Structure 1
Amino acid sequence: MEVEISGVPVHFAEHGDGMPVLALHGAGVDHREMVGALEPVFRDRPGYRRVYPDLPGMGRTPVADRLRGSDDVLDLVLGLVDAVAGDQRFAVVGHSFGGYLARGVAARRPAQVAGLALICPLGEDARDVPAHEVQHASADVADALSPAEQAQFRDYFVVQTPATLERFREHVAPALPLVDRDGLGRVFEQWRLSDTSAYPGPTLILTGRQDATVGYAGAWELVERYPHATYAVLDRAGHALPHEQTGLLAALIGEWLDRVTIC
């Protein structure tokens, strides 16, 4: 599906009916990664309308010349919210850069956001980021991936099994050639949001113990901004946590949705 927001055609996928849940992917992929992560969670949970946009410069959403920072991207995301949800209350889930944008959404629309879930969120002050260290490797990638894809897989995943390889092939690899790296470069020149203030609603913060991209220690500081936050550090999980710890992801997202629903 596609909707024009301030002259920018924003592509998104949509599943289900009910309370809107906006799912924001990270940098360098597209909506398919969040679809792969979250749709199994909602398989037995009716009553939610999941909206998965391609963020600018990724998937099928272009980077307009006027998009010069994360605040501009956030404005586009809020325009999408207005287009698909109107004045309905909605929940928002974000992974990595999408998690940072999700914080901006909650800061700008605290009364409308019913819940906030952050998965390996990018933050202003990443610290104590560990070196990339593979925890388990049993996947044979030689015949399954191109040389470039092999490098991406090995650098992204700390659990490298046939199952995570298949998830990479289905939900990550197809997006890699669609990235507008020049456009993203313009956006990330001013990547800090102007407002990521506190949010009082049900919150979930998931981090990977072996996340070599953003780490896990810096995200602990977010707990002070979110008084109803559950914070979890998952072992055997890097920045690809949604693919590496699918069971725990489903359980913790499910518990968060329970809190969102009763608010």
Structure 2
Amino acid sequence: MEEISGLPVHFVEHGDGLPVLVLHGSGVDHREMVGALEPVFRDRPGYRRVYPDLPGMGRTPVPDWFRGSDDVLDLVLGLIDAVVGDQRFAIVGHSFGGYLAGGVAARRPAQVAGLALICPIGEESRDVPPHAVLHASVDVAEALDPAEQAQFRDYFVVQTPATVKRFREYVAPALPLVDWDGLGRMSDQWRLSDASGDAPPYTGPTLILTGRQDATAGYAGAWELVERYPRATYAVLDRAGHALPHEQAGLLTALIAEWLDRVDEHRAA
């Protein structure tokens, strides 16, 4: 726990070395990205992974005076100052966390050693497909509590025993902890006032991962980010919705590992 601008920010960390700040999306907490990314680092030492709970989720409260994403970004930058200092660091973000991660790279381009965006939401979503289940091989009604079934069905396009297990372990425990009223207060001002699209291109190693069936953020809008990031790898994965980290865990692990290789190479140059 670290107090930032009077707000207690909860986070967990693993390992030592290059700091890697990981920002989760809306409606969950740090555990979703811990489950998604720790397999990447299982046999890869040299990284200090920092997983915070964003305001209104997990064990980080959202104060009454928070009014939008600008406040969240300022809090994230304050956390960076507190736990990373002036070291270089890499940053990973999923969904809303990806939006914030892009804002961090725009504000601190010289300090950010690498940027990875997973199903990032953007300023304007376009060509977002309707939610559709591609594959179902599990009885959701038997596998999950009634309160969890709707969230699972609306989130996953691949519904199998394996994705149910990941949902129960990494997503469901966070659901009762969400301050939906607090998040609602911020939703009208979720766009950053100094949109990163107005900033110079970020030139560090970048990864943009999207799901072909992502009914929340889509994949087409994220392609436009490629012009902002000249060192970007862009991938759109079939058999993946907004829950891509769970539905395509193997490809996520491989592509994050390759991105880390590029980050290390760039730092050593």
1:42-191 alignment runs, 5 A limit? 42-191=41-190
1:247 to 240, 245, 250: 250
Residue matched to 2:195: 195
Q: Are the aligned partners of 1:108 and 1:195 in contact in 2 as well (CA < 8 Å)?
A: no
Distance of 1:107 and 1:154 partners within structure 2 = 35
Q: Distance in 2 between matches of 1:105 and 1:36?
A: 23
**1:189, distance to aligned residue in structure 2 (A):** 1.4
* Residue equivalent to 1:33: 32
CA distance in 1, matches of 2:137, 2:18: 40
Corresponding residue for 2:230?
227
Question: Which letter does structure 2 place at the counterpart of 1:251?
Answer: A
Gaps of 5+ in 1: none
Q: In 1, distance between residues paired with 2:78 and 2:132?
A: 39
Q: TM-score, normalised by structure 2?
A: 0.96
- Superposed CA deviations along residues 78-101 of structure 1, whole A, max 9, x for unmatched, are 111111110110000000000000
Aligned residues: 262
1:211 is aligned to 2:206: no
Quote the Cα distance in structure 2 between the aligned partners of 1:195 and 1:45: 34
- Distance in 1 separating the partners of 2:235 and 2:143: 33
Contact 1:110 1:199 in 2 (8 A): yes
Question: CA offsets per residue over residues 91-140 of structure 1, 9 Å max, x none?
Answer: 00000000000000000000000000000001011100001111110122
Q: Deviations over 1:132-180 (max 9, x none)?
A: 1111101222233121211110110001010000000000000001100
In 2, the alpha carbon distance for the partners of 1:192 and 1:254 equals 30
Which residue is equivalent to 2:261?
Answer: 258
3-state SS of 2:186 partner: helix
**How many angstroms apart in 1 are the aligned matches of 2:142 and 2:158?**
19
Q: TM-score normalized by structure 1?
A: 0.98
User: Deviation of residue 223 (structure 1)?
Assistant: 0.3
Partner deviation per Cα, 1:180-204 (whole Å, 9 max, x = no partner): 0111011121000123133111000
Q: Whole-Å Cα distance in 1 between the matches of residues 89 and 172 of structure 2?
A: 29
1:12 aligns with 2:15: no
**1:247 Cα shift?**
0.7
Unaligned runs of 5+ in 2: none
* Regions of 4+ moved over 4 Å: none
CA contact (8 A) 1:21 1:51 kept: yes
* Percent identity for Structure 1 against Structure 2: 83
CA distance in 2: counterparts of 1:211 and 1:179, whole angstroms: 22
Amino acid at match of 2:249: T
SS in structure 2 at match of 1:174: helix
- d(CA) in 2 for partners of 1:129, 1:7: 38
Query: 2:51, 2:139 → 1: CA distance?
Result: 31
**Equivalent-residue separation in structure 2 for 1:142 and 1:244 (angstroms):** 20
**What is the letter of the counterpart of residue 31 of structure 2?**
R
| Cα distance in 2, alignment partners of residues 262 and 71 from structure 1 | 32
